A and B are shown apart, each in its own frame.
Chain A
């Protein structure tokens, strides 16, 4: 027997300690349930759907949610920090990363070298470009994909 069944049993035992009292209580609840089951939801006002749709037209969906904006800002900030570090270290760290990538990827040496050279020569424009692509990707992914439903949309 689960803890919740125990709780129900405890309430019953407290309210109706004898078998007769319990039978009487259960019968009263059965009767009440029959009455409750006859209740129905009321109809909304006749123009309800029209009012909802008027509000839908008047207040279109926001183009970007707060979550998108925060994610985008975090990515942009991280990229800006990376770019600043690249400039500060004269591109040394980025060159090492670029060289590593070029070594790992067989057949991609030319691409790796190209990226490394681009990163080495122009870290700020490259970071800005990457930030923009990340933000765009995040927004598109949220639009196309199915984010989990939020229990509280308010």
Chain B
């Protein structure tokens, strides 16, 4: 049976494109980039907090993925593999620039978009969302990461554990801790 004639498995939609990219088909790799760019850039932006750095690291992530396609295990999700590369590059950059401290909050906080908000709700929700984003940006990298992966990217705890390299059972506790810190920051902000 030829792989080319098989319908794409919904659980592993990237396999065909990965195989073609491995054979040097750059269009196939471009399709993979298009499919993942928002997730990768989004995670980079939440971790690094500046557009220029997020764009640079997200590009670097895809370049590393391309150069290491031979090492990708097809039985595992491609998107998680690329997310892991992005995470490692972000953490490397943060370590190099010693930006891990939560006190080091930049003044410029992005107002990131939101899903499923009608025109009427948008005006009301905008301020709340901005407050939430601002409070989130004051959290530690670990807290921002777990919140972004779980709530923004809707990843399962198992997937998050795989990306972060920790036991799946620890994720719910990490999420609770991060939410609690976020709630406290928002209360402080509200009181101020």
> Could you list which residues of chain A lie within 8 angstroms of chain B, going by C-beta atoms?
2-5, 7-8, 11-12, 15, 28-29, 32-33, 35-45, 48-49, 51-53, 55-57, 59, 61-62, 142-143, 146-154
Contact of A153 with B71 at beta-carbon distance under 8 Å, contacts A11-B173, A36-B152, A40-B152 already known: yes
Q: Mark B54-92, 1 if CB is under 8 A from A, else 0.
A: 010011001111111111111110000100110011001
The interface residues of chain B, by DSSP majority, are classed as: helix
- Docked complex Cα distance between A45 and B182 (Å): 28
- Measured between C-beta atoms, what is the minimum distance from A74 to chain B in Å? 19
Contact B114 A52 (CB under 8 A): no
Judged by a CB distance under 8 angstroms, whether B50 is at the interface is no
Given contacts A11-B176, A55-B63, contact A40 B113 (CB under 8 A): yes
Residue of B nearest to A2 (CB): B169
Q: How far is the CA of A117 from the CA of B69 in the complex (A)?
A: 44
Do residues B183 and A29 form an inter-chain contact, with CB atoms below 8 A?
Answer: yes
B8 within 8 A of A: no
Which residues from chain B sit less than 8 Å from chain A, CB to CB? 26, 29-30, 33-34, 37-39, 41-43, 45, 51, 55, 58-59, 62-76, 81, 84-85, 88-89, 92, 110, 112-117, 125, 128-129, 132-133, 147, 151-154, 165, 167, 169-170, 172-173, 176-177, 179-180, 182-183, 186
How distant is B79 from chain A, measured CB to nearest CB, in Å? Answer: 12
Main secondary structure of the interface of A (DSSP, over half): helix
A50 CB → nearest B CB, Å: 9
Distance in angstroms from A57 CB to nearest chain B CB is 7
Across-interface contacts of A149 in B (CB, < 8 A): 71-73, 76, 81
10 contacts between A and B (CB under 8 A): A7-B173, A11-B176, A29-B180, A33-B151, A36-B151, A49-B37, A51-B55, A146-B73, A146-B74, A153-B84
Contact of A154 among B41, B88, B128 (CB under 8 A): B88
Contact of B153 among A41, A59, A62, A151 (CB under 8 A): A41
Contact B173 A4 (CB under 8 A): yes
